[in-house]
Amino acid sequence: MIFGVRYVTTATSMKRKKHHTEKSRIIGLLVVSFLRSRLLHRTLIIAISASLLLLFALFSLFAPSPVNEINLQTQNNDQVRSRFEVPAGGGRCRRDLWSSIHSRLFYGCSNAGVNFAKANVKTNPDRYLLIATSGGLNQQRTGIVDAVVAAYLLNATLVVPELDHTSFWKDTSNFSELFDTDWFITFLRNDVRIVKELPDMGGNFVAPYTVRVPRKCTPKCYEDRVLPVLVRKRAVRLTKFDYRLANMLDEDLQRLRCRVNYHALRFTDSIQGMGKLLVERMKMKGKHFIALHLRFEPDMLAFSGCYYGGGEKEKKELGEIRKRWKNLHASNPEKVRRHGRCPLTPEEVGLMLRALGFGSEVNLYVASGEIYGGQETLAPLKALFPNFHSKETIATKEELAPFVSFSSRMAALDFIVCEESDVFVTNNNGNMAKILAGRRRYLGHKATIRPNAKKLNMLFMNRNNRTWEEFASRVRTFQVGFMGEPNELRPGSGEFTENPSACICQNSGGGGISYPQNHNNITEFEEQQEWYDVVDNKLNANGTKIDSLPLLMNTDQLAEVQEFFSD
């Protein structure tokens, strides 16, 4: 039994060993198969990797290096920049740069209408109006013009206006030292009775009663605010008389403004004589000349909040000046420039003129005050227009001696040269620029160039990315509507000093004159006026600006700002 059992066990064991051996063989075959497959894959991977390395090596051999690409890009940029080469000549232009083809169709007309009451009929002998002007020469000129109209509205005798001796300009000149008083009185004798000083009334001196009317006061405003006081007191003195009469008046009153501004206000013989001498000397230098009224004083730049790339030095210097106006909002130079509220630099003015077609041979007369940066700032303009002149360079110190200590008299000399120039250019829209633009329209639409700053500023900032031809073409396009043509401004638009439409008549048979195609420039120009005319008709009763300008000032601060922008 035992052996039988042992036998059976041995046989079973042998069967198990055989089964285990077969199983091991199968596993071995699987392992060998796996290893062979893995070896094949490794070989394939190695082959693919080697091929990729070979391709990469070939690509690296023939492809340009990144350094070469950078150098190539730099060369391309340099080529673009090198193409912005300002030519010495003005090139060929489609229009006459020195005159308007339409100017012969228009003429100044300011005669009184048949129903306009004369002074000897309407003046009340017991009413005297005294005026104290404010600001620089041209701001005061505007006040004098409006004073005559105010006297007419009040049926009063006008006492020759007092000039401002205490403002920023610190000029002690009186009316008779700037203007021909006798001519002023005589020319306007049919419109308003004018006397040199307040007379005794009934043997007694009457002290004038002081009144200040709001800005842009209408005829009804004068009737309500001033006339009752004038009737009671007999003599009224209106102080700070600048922009104190509405811009829009009826045609007869607007024409009275023109008679005062363009005919009655004549500089003294000494100023006229020196001014004409300067004009003659400019005309002797060539057939034509340009007069540029350049405003680039530190005060103006500081107030504007503009930045001109002068680094920390500029920011610090102008920032210190800007602190004078404590309530000015923090400036955003990029936004201000984008909105066209930054005066063009001297270089930018020069580039604009060259793009418009004026060559380096042109004689340029520059009327300016202190230029921020001095000769360094002026150098690019002088390089573009080497025939660079001013009253100081074409007159001797001895000739200028009677005028040099008086800012208004010096400004009057510049005014005469700018008025008589073949082309008048400005980089701003201050009072002198406005008055001269209106005067040149009235006297025959003489060429007057105002920069379309809103468009030009962005073009100047990116000029090195364009060729000169592209740049010049865009300048000419942007300046349509800003060249002093008769059809640029709609009647009644803008300030009357600049657009005296009621005093400009059209010759019969002249035909209609259409507005320029990009008539949107008219709107753009009117928007730009707001920046320079910081005390215009958008003032509330407290004297605070309520439009988009970054101002929040009291009356004294407004007066100080006004002085900087007045001429």
Please report the pLDDT score of residue 287 as a whole number.
93
pLDDT > 70? residue 408? yes
Please report the pLDDT score of residue 31 as a whole number.
46
The band of 514, judged by pLDDT with boundaries at 50, 70 and 90, is very low
Please report the pLDDT score of residue 42 as a whole number.
57
Measured distance CA(430)–CA(566) in Å, rounded: 6
Measured distance CA(187)–CA(192) in Å, rounded: 10
Mode of pairing for the β-strands spanning 106-108 and 504-506? antiparallel
Who wins on pLDDT, 84 or 404? 404
Q: By C-alpha distance, which of 19, 565, 560 is closest to 325?
A: 560
Tell me the pLDDT of the chain averaged across its residues. Answer: 82
- The amino acid at residue 540 is N
Please report the pLDDT score of residue 29 as a whole number.
54
CA 363, 365, 368: angle at the middle one, nearest 5?
A: 155
pLDDT tens digits, 140-153: 999 999 999 999 99
Please report the pLDDT score of residue 411 as a whole number.
96
pLDDT tens digits, 321-334: 988 887 777 778 88
List the end-to-end C-alpha distance of the chain, in Å, as a whole number. Answer: 141
**Three-state DSSP string of 452-497:** CHHHHHHHHHCHHHCCHHHHHHHHHHHCCCCCCCCCCCCCCCCCCC
CATH numbers and ranges of domains, the chain: 83-102+268-296+343-533 (3.40.50.11350), 119-264 (no CATH)
Give me the percent of the chain exceeding a pLDDT of 70. Answer: 74
Please report the pLDDT score of residue 152 as a whole number.
98
Exposed, middle or buried, 541 (CB in 10 Å: 0-12/13-18/19+)? exposed
- In this structure, of 14-28, 105-119, 268-282, 363-377, the range with the lowest mean pLDDT score is 14-28
Residue whose tokens read 């693919």: 48
Torsion of CA 62, 65, 68, 74, to 10 degrees: 130
> In this structure, are residues 423 and 291 in contact, taking their beta carbons and an 8 Å threshold?
yes
Who wins on pLDDT, 552 or 158? 158
Structure tokens at 151: 């006297």
Please report the pLDDT score of residue 567 as a whole number.
63
pLDDT > 80? residue 546? no
Q: Give the pLDDT mean for 483-499.
A: 89
Measured distance CA(90)–CA(360) in Å, rounded: 8
The band of 507, judged by pLDDT with boundaries at 50, 70 and 90, is confident
Please report the pLDDT score of residue 371 as a whole number.
96
The band of 339, judged by pLDDT with boundaries at 50, 70 and 90, is confident
pLDDT > 60? residue 100? yes
Residue 93 phi, psi dihedral angles, 5° rounding: -120, 150
Please report the pLDDT score of residue 93 as a whole number.
63
pLDDT > 90? residue 341? no
Measured distance CA(137)–CA(70) in Å, rounded: 58
- In this structure, of 63-67, 186-190, 321-325, 368-372, the range with the lowest mean pLDDT score is 63-67
pLDDT > 60? residue 81? no
* Cβ count near 379 (within 10 Å): 13
pLDDT > 60? residue 451? yes
Please report the pLDDT score of residue 525 as a whole number.
47
Q: Give the pLDDT mean for 89-103.
A: 78
Instruction: Order the strands of the 388-389 sheet from edge to edge.
Output: 388-389, 363-368, 289-294, 423-426, 448-449
Please report the pLDDT score of residue 90 as a whole number.
79
Q: Give the pLDDT mean for 396-414.
A: 97
pLDDT > 60? residue 386? yes
pTM of the model: 0.79
Who wins on pLDDT, 329 or 549? 329
Measured distance CA(112)–CA(255) in Å, rounded: 7
Please report the pLDDT score of residue 33 as a whole number.
57
pLDDT tens digits, 21-67: 555 565 555 544 544 555 555 555 565 655 655 555 555 555 444 43
